[in-house]
Amino acid sequence: MPERRNVYFYHPMDTSMKEKVEPLYDLAQRYGFNIVKDYKDANIVISIGGDGTFLQAVRKTGFREDCLYAGITTSRKLSMYCDFQIDDTSKMIEAITNEQIEVRRYPTIDVTVDNQFSFKCLNEFSIRSAIIRPFVMDVFIDTLHFETFRGDGMIVATPTGSTAYNKSVNGAVVDPMLPCLQVTELASVNTNQYRTLGSSFILSGDRQLTLKVVQDGNDHPTMGMDNEALSVQHVESIHIKLSDSKIKTVKLKDNSFWEKVKRTYL
Ligand code: NAP
């Protein structure tokens, strides 16, 4: 990758991690890469840890469209966002010496809370009752009032996030080549008064999902952007749509989305 030379490593800073990552810093320098201390100077961001570290690396560096992201796992197994194992330096060398590196692009979603706070998610936006009581939301697809939800909460997942929280609650696994968002319920209460679809549904990238939290006292749900909780205490409305920006990762021989699904789950 001749045009990309500035690497930012993102990893926990503890002593045991320092020992593990030093050989990677040396390797990068040996192959002519500059290791930058400020992620704003980088055009390659490498996370070292697990999928959670990769999600944090993308968030802390601002979902950069002009960067190539790569995940190195410290565990024995490769995962959904980590295509390199920390001891497998030959695979890393093969990738960094490739003159014409190809990229995979992962869709992200844009979320706006109460028309005030906006952020992106790579896995999912989640909203859950913070107390042991269901809460109520009106769900709109574009301007259509689709359903009134009562239950524990909802997950709005990206295609790459479809294998995470979404999958644990029976959502479908979605190919990231389909730019879309998936809406999955968490324990809906279905009665004659409140009725929801009951199954996950997938919205095209041209649609907007709006959640309006009914202000009945239980309107302080917990909201999550990937693996980080939102500090917002109270919410009325949330707008969610597919983002124009995508996260670029390295395309390798063995890391198509379905190969990753197979290596992780089957
Ligand atoms: P964590 O508690 O350390 O681990 C959650 C697990 O999810 C880990 O095994 C992680 O992989 C895996 N994971 C993360 N993103 C994934 C993806 N896109 N596809 C498949 N597996 C994925 O938390 P974390 O590592 O920071 O991950 C945060 C994610 O956990 C959230 O974004 C949410 O999707 C998920 N989550 C799941 C549940 C559930 O399934 N009931 C509940 C809450 C949150 P690694 O081992 O490689 O890190």
151-189 residue pLDDT tens: 999 999 999 999 999 999 999 999 999 999 999 999 999
Percent of the chain with pLDDT over 70: 99
Whether the predicted pLDDT of 13 surpasses 90: no
Report which DSSP code applies to 36. P
Q: Considering the chain, what is the average pLDDT of its residues?
A: 95
Q: Name the pTM for this structure.
A: 0.96
Distances (CA, A) of 199 to 170, 207, 210, 242: 9, 18, 18, 20
DSSP for residue 40: G
Domains in the chain: boundaries? 6-100, 108-244
Handedness of CA 228, 226, 204, 151 (dihedral sign): negative
For 6-100, CATH number?
Answer: 3.40.50.10330
* CA 43 to ligand 1 centroid distance, Å: 26
Average pLDDT over residues 122-137: 97
Per-residue confidence (pLDDT) for residue 2, from 0 to 100: 61
Arithmetic mean of pLDDT, 226-242: 95
Q: What is the pLDDT of residue 165?
A: 98
- Out of 51, 155, 249, mutate this one to test ligand 1's pocket (max ligand atoms within 8 Å of CB): namely 51
- pLDDT (tens digit per residue) in 195-229: 999 999 999 999 999 999 999 998 899 999 999 99
Pocket lined around ligand 1, Cβ cut-off 6 Å: 50-52, 55, 79-80, 123-124, 160-161, 163-165, 168, 226-227
Which amino acid, 212? K
Q: Which CATH architecture has domain 108-244?
A: Sandwich (2.60)
Largest pairwise CA distance in the chain: 67
Query: Cβ contacts of residue 41 below 8 Å, gap of 6+?
Result: 6, 8
Strand residue runs (E) in 27-102: 34-35, 44-49, 68-73, 84-85
Compute CA distances 19 → 16, 53, 111, 156, 216, whole Å. 5, 18, 38, 38, 53
